[in-house]
Structure 1
């Protein structure tokens, strides 16, 4: 089993921001390194609240796909599992290593063994030319991040949750505003008599049969003590078109027009594992209740993806999908029984 690649040092700050957002969900993540013919690598972070049941009924998590060539160079990988390698690691350790990469001249990462498996980050802080033998000089900084190598069976279990095809969602511009609304509602999201850690928000999508290309999105607190709600009007509708294909198969009903600008179809939600049975595909009103704190953590992704977020409400989970030119992240939140 071998892996080595150069880190694109000009993106070191981006690395820190991305992994910092994922670390809000849990301190442990899985880096899925893919075969050379695949153009993406993947980070997987499971919710700290509960081990994920991949039927979507109990837990949640995040799946972030990065375009490999935008983040790595000289990518080389070998393994007996079809050149797939999955490494579980502490995100805090990774973030500390990445701090040394900021401003560096060169950096590479490789899989090694120092008694235990480690991901070694080697950093050259400046251009030192060549040594007397004509080779590259020694690395200035070397850091080792302990990792646990997952077997192929466990990696297969960590695929994205299945969702229904044919379900509509909304495209929300300026996710920072949604994040701010959730932060303001969180103190009120605890019903009388409930423990303070039980905080729920109700999400509602509605669209008129007379204007199927637009929908209204409501988020609020509804309990015995009070009702407070924020509403977002005339949002563009996105739909999950195909059951088993990638993000490119989620589209807007108006062929891509979104408030604030046009968006290509490849920026639609990643629903690779959608099923072929859409039991509620024609429902004009969709409703879900989610944990307020988990949603607040998810929406911190607006610090990286500032333009828009896709939201879908499925039978077992809520999906929030952020995308940019060279990466995308899908957050799955389990649904609560009531607010």
Structure 2
């Protein structure tokens, strides 16, 4: 297991650098890359050009950029944000993304698990059909459509909620913060609940029809005992890593939902980096956010894979034997 973890970590690092290098090269090939700082303080702009290794080969520039990050923690400066370091700017936006995503995650996990279990136990009955219709609807319809409709009716037509946008400066548990965050939390929860309900229903339905469940019933266990002791445990093996990965992925936020509700989080910063005057994106900000998203995606994937062995020791043993055999 130790060797397998080291192997996966090594592959993750290699994959990370390949992806980041490709993004770096594509950005450097943009015709307006070195116009990003025009109109700014000439001294600051010249220092930035030197840090970028202007007129040097792209590979050299890439390693200079990585060296600045490793040595000084310097991801560059944002000329469109008053020359503020992009790392500082992103870190100020990250807590807002976490705050708006943590509540949907905590809400959707138990609800999604409950609906998935009910749908599987009531397979092909009215309850299952009702849950399945809701799941198909909220998976098929884009969440920003649901968000806009809820804003229109709850805020502008029925005036149940005071504002359509989130008050980012309100204290977390104040009345204003709660009222303006109800809609985005509800919208973010719907899609996650639907996805996890569908996944758990599929896994549990397959498990309930397995041969070992028939054997458990033949040995005298009731349907409820067999389900709790055997079916649920086996159904959660592929489902639990998705929960762990989802917890890590919430750091990335949602670009469209953040824009729809005016949330000044990571997703909004990513869009702001692209939507700049004169069509010149904020390249340093864009590169750091790409590093952030790639690292979050790879980290969620590897932790999800490794969690299989923690949840089910048989997978850990099998993985260890397979890895030793490869050696």
What's the TM-score bracket when you normalise by the shorter of the two chains?
Answer: under 0.3
Bigger radius of gyration: 2
TM-score, length of structure 2 as denominator length: 0.25
More helix by share: 2
More strand by share: 1
Task: Identify the structure with bigger relative contact order (alpha carbons < 8 Å, sequence gap 6+).
Answer: 2
TM-score, length of structure 1 as denominator length: 0.24
